[in-house]
């Protein structure tokens, strides 16, 4: 009984300590790029969905943007569609884009929507093509229908904020000539966050965060520090696209970007509602 009492007291204390953060984020827009571990199992997805429902319940406006690379690879293999690569990036011809749209807007998107609904939320699935949310052009003609956002129309998302619905966005873009574009999920999340002037952009990944020269996670960085670490090759490899997305989003009006270890249970809540945080926060300046 004593152990049980201690657990309940710890829970009550945690809720009490979260109050200033609940007040601070009331009405705020938070864009979350969902990928990696948080999508790897039904249990992890259910935990993430529960956190998102809680965010909406306490007055925040979460927008989920998801990836799906492994699932796309799996479907292409099943259909025996061979991929070509240029500079390590997949060429997305019309056949590949059809599969990408089927997987992203179908199985993955609706799976996330269902997970949120199962936790008591009211999620709605859409893609960047809906209401011309994300109009794109060719990022690199050699890559085919891989898009870069050139025009954002976030009104469709803003309409959800006055309701109790949670938008879940697949990273597909509409071309000005009727094309469908495959958009990198981090890039899509950054563009959507900037268009909404979001308070936070959270990039869930499978690493602890941005690390310094000694391998230690840096919990807070300015844009200038990110550029310096990149120039010194301390920020390298797969972290570069994420920090580039962060800098672009901040330049576009996002208040701060956090690169979060999505392997940590309740990572989003830890970042938003505790002093400890759960990743590397990047802002324009201190």
Could you say which of 69, 106, 252, 277 is catalytic?
A: 69
Copy the structure tokens of residue 9. 């007291």
Q: How far apart are CA 224 and CA 230, in angstroms?
A: 10
Catalytic site includes residue 33: yes
CA-based nearest residue to 255, from 29, 19, 24, 35: 29
Could you say which of 36, 67, 144, 262 is catalytic?
A: 36
Catalytic site includes residue 36: yes
User: Pairing mode, if any, of strands 85-86 and 89-90?
Assistant: antiparallel
Alpha-carbon radius of gyration of the chain: 19
Phi/psi for 91 (5° steps) reads -80, 125
E strand or H helix at 142, and its extent? none
**Helices 69-78 and 94-102: angle between axes, nearest 10 degrees:** 120
Phi/psi for 166 (5° steps) reads -115, 115
Task: Reduce the DSSP state of residue 141 to 3 states and report it.
Answer: helix
Catalytic site includes residue 68: no
Could you say which of 33, 121, 130, 279 is catalytic?
A: 33
Could you say which of 242, 261, 262, 279 is catalytic?
A: 242
CA-CA distances (angstroms) from residue 39 to 34, 109, 185, 202, 244? 7, 11, 13, 15, 23
Q: How far apart are CA 29 and CA 26, in angstroms?
A: 9
Copy the structure tokens of residue 236. 């390298």
Catalytic site includes residue 275: no
Q: How far apart are CA 116 and CA 4, in angstroms?
A: 30
User: Pairing mode, if any, of strands 123-127 and 61-66?
Assistant: unpaired
Could you say which of 51, 130, 139, 186 is catalytic?
A: 186
Catalytic site includes residue 87: no
Write out the catalytic residue numbers.
33, 36, 69, 186, 242
């Amino acid at each position: 009984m004593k152990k049980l009492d201690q657990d309940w007291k710890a829970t009550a204390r945690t809720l009490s300590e979260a109050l200033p953060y609940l007040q601070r984020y009331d009405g705020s827009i938070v864009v979350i790029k969902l990928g990696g571990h948080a999508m790897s199992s039904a249990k992890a997805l259910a935990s993430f969905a529960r956190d998102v429902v809680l965010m909406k319940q306490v007055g925040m406006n979460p927008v989920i943007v998801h990836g799906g690379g492994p699932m796309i690879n799996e479907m292409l293999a099943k259909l025996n569609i061979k991929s070509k690569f240029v500079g390590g990036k997949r060429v997305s011809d019309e056949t590949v884009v059809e599969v990408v749209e089927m997987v992203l807007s179908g199985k993955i998107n609706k799976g996330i929507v269902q997970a949120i609904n199962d936790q008591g939320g009211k999620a709605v699935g859409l893609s960047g093509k809906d209401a011309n949310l994300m109009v794109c052009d060719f990022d690199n003609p050699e890559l085919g229908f891989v898009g870069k956002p050139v025009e954002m129309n976030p009104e469709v998302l803003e309409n959800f904020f006055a309701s109790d619905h949670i938008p879940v966005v697949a990273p597909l873009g509409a071309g000005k000539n009727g094309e469908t574009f495959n958009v990198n999920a981090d890039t899509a999340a950054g563009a959507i966050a900037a268009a909404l002037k979001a308070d936070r952009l959270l990039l869930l990944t499978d690493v602890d965060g941005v690390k310094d020269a000694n391998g230690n996670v840096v919990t807070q960085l300015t844009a200038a520090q990110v550029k310096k670490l990149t120039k010194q090759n301390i920020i390298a490899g797969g972290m570069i696209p994420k920090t580039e997305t962060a800098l672009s989003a901040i330049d576009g009006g996002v208040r701060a970007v956090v690169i979060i270890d999505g392997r940590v249970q309740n990572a989003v809540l830890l970042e938003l509602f505790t002093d400890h945080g759960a990743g590397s926060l990047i802002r324009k300046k201190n």
